[in-house]
Structure 1
Amino acid sequence: MTTETTPPEALVATGLALLDLHADGVAHIRLNRPEASNGLNIELLKTLHEVIMRVHGDKRVRAVLITGEGRHFCAGGDTHTFLAQGEDLPHYIRVATGYLQLVAAGLIRLNPPVVSAVQGFAAGGGGMGLVCSSDFVVAGESTKFLAGATRVAMVPDAGVSVTLTQLVGFRRAMEILMLNPVIDAAEAKAMGLVTRVVPDAQLMDEAWSLARQLASGAPRALANTKRLLWNGIGAGVEAAMPEENNTQAVLCGTQDALEGLAAVIEKRAPRFTGR
């Protein structure tokens, strides 16, 4: 990352999602829950939505860069928080997926192009959803991707049932969402899940360079090009998310969902019974 002569303006300086505006017009959103691998709980999702709306209302923003503090970009939903809800999990998930829907739709509908820089794991509805809702994705060569929802007896959310299919194709999406393979960065690039793969040490330099290149472009032309591209699938994404959310909340009330969450935390194979 090149040295800036003008310090960025801290628009949101504290909390679970941070926002800086740089002089070149790049808004930098940072997921700030590194101790939990930026796992998404209601508090982080709510704050992230508020940050995206702050970007949406700022005409100075010409490109957006999303990063995750710590070792991992975003490890998906916070399994410890989910399991701790017990019988209240369906209600918790309804609220969480409602905010996740707003986040994914907000990124898709933002005028400025969105670049995500991904390190460590991008997993679950959170990590995979942010990746699939971004316009450009730069990944470090050691990055891993995992859908993970059916592994804990749930379904994909954040519009991934539509966006992933568009990015990688129907057959590959079926495999990713049902079999939950761990996908390395090179494979993710080959299938179209990410835009670029670079050495880990060069990740932030490459992501910043791309964001600044976009910020220097013609803003209305880029915004309208983005809109035209997303319009082909955008309606399908937003139509799918309420059904994803409702199905997620229903499944969270099952014994299999609690068993799946416990198995992930305990690092063992789940024992599903269909109840």
Structure 2
Amino acid sequence: MTVSNTLIETGPVLLEVEDSGVARLRLNRPESSNGMNVEFLVALHTAILRCHSEPTVKVVVISGEGRNFCTGGDVKTFQSKGADLPEYLREATAWLQIATSALIQLKVPVIAAVHGYAAGGGGFGLVCAADLVIATESAKFFSGAVRVGMAPDAGVTVTLTQLVGLRKAMEILLTNSVLSAAEAKDCGIVTSVVPDAELPSAVDELALGLAQLPPLALAATKRLVWAGIGAGVAGQLPDEARTVSELSGTADALEGLAAVLERRTPTFVGR
């Protein structure tokens, strides 16, 4: 019988730790496809810090409640800010930055369990910052930033390039390519793809297997692998945040957000 210690039981991000040492971090805004606003990002950072401080945690599994893993920023919230959007995004991207950094710096392995869409700087960024990714056959992956007049964030401009190479990263980010799970696996974003119904069992098998391995060796291996990449992410995050904030005040960005909500093709004017 699995025994769980619930550390965060309400709010936009939930966290519990099983007696096996597997921590379940669940994105919990299903009504918005786990869209990220400031409250959500603060809660995400808090949950990741709890994983850092909880000595029984051996593996962290990130999943999303509802139909999608995470579709990135909360477009409705962004559009509602109007002229205040650049300032709001400065705060949001700051929280996304420190949450992403904290995830990479965790000593234990991080598994992203992906179903539905993993999109935007938030959803796609969490996938790229995880150590291992298991996706359902029906999962979809895309950046989407350029589509709404924004730029990638969450360190994606570094992590994605490391995962897939420069040319493929440019293609994914500039064209907003929607990748199937199989395509994401083929180019190195996803570790393994399983039938939709088998996601929980596949994640459990991987997480429990990792939890039985020597923790110091796991921590050292993760640190060494991320060392060069992590330094690049840390250096890139401020520029990403500054660029996202600046772009969010442009006419194109406001048009892009409106087009997403109105389900129409945007018309960009270059200002």
TM-score (structure 2 length as normaliser): 0.99
Question: Is 1:29 paired with 2:25?
Answer: yes
Partner residue of 1:55 out of 46, 51, 56: 51
Aligned partners of 1:105 and 1:238: how far apart in 2?
7
Contact persistence 1:65–1:208 (CA under 8 A): no
| Farther off after superposition, 131-140 or 208-217 | 208-217
* Corresponding residue number in structure 2 for 1:143: 139
Partner residue of 1:175 out of 163, 171, 178: 171
RMSD between aligned residues: 0.6
* Pairs within 5 Å for 1:142-221: 142-221=138-217
Aligned partners of 1:204 and 1:71: how far apart in 2?
15
Deviation at 1:6, TM superposition (A): 3.7
Question: Is 1:71 paired with 2:38?
Answer: no
Deviation at 1:59, TM superposition (A): 1.3
Deviation at 1:221, TM superposition (A): 0.2
* Corresponding residue number in structure 1 for 2:88: 92
1:13-36 deviation per Cα after TM superposition (whole angstroms, max 9, x unaligned): 111100001000011100000000
Q: Which amino acid aligns with 1:163?
A: T
Deviation at 1:182, TM superposition (A): 0.8
Partner residue of 1:241 out of 237, 251, 267: 237
Aligned partners of 1:208 and 1:101: how far apart in 2?
28
1:136-195 deviation per Cα after TM superposition (whole angstroms, max 9, x unaligned): 000000000110000011100000000000000100000000000110000000000010
**What SS does structure 2 have at the residue aligned with 1:197?**
strand
Question: Is 1:254 paired with 2:250?
Answer: yes
Q: Which amino acid aligns with 1:144?
A: K
Question: Is 1:80 paired with 2:76?
Answer: yes
**What SS does structure 2 have at the residue aligned with 1:115?**
strand
* Corresponding residue number in structure 2 for 1:113: 109
**What SS does structure 1 have at the residue aligned with 2:153?**
coil
Deviation at 1:40, TM superposition (A): 0.5
Aligned partners of 1:233 and 1:13: how far apart in 2?
33
Deviation at 1:7, TM superposition (A): 2.4
**What SS does structure 1 have at the residue aligned with 2:234?**
helix
Aligned partners of 1:273 and 1:91: how far apart in 2?
23
Aligned partners of 1:28 and 1:248: how far apart in 2?
30
- Identical-residue share of aligned pairs (%): 57
TM-score (structure 1 length as normaliser): 0.98
Q: Which amino acid aligns with 2:83?
A: E
**What SS does structure 2 have at the residue aligned with 1:38?**
coil
Structure 1 segments, 4+ long, off by >2 Å, are none
**What SS does structure 1 have at the residue aligned with 2:183?**
helix
Aligned partners of 2:2 and 2:185: how far apart in 1?
34
Deviation at 1:204, TM superposition (A): 1.1
Question: How many aligned residue pairs are there?
Answer: 271
Q: Which amino acid aligns with 1:17?
A: V
Q: Which amino acid aligns with 1:107?
A: L
**What SS does structure 1 have at the residue aligned with 2:6?**
strand
Aligned partners of 2:36 and 2:208: how far apart in 1?
28
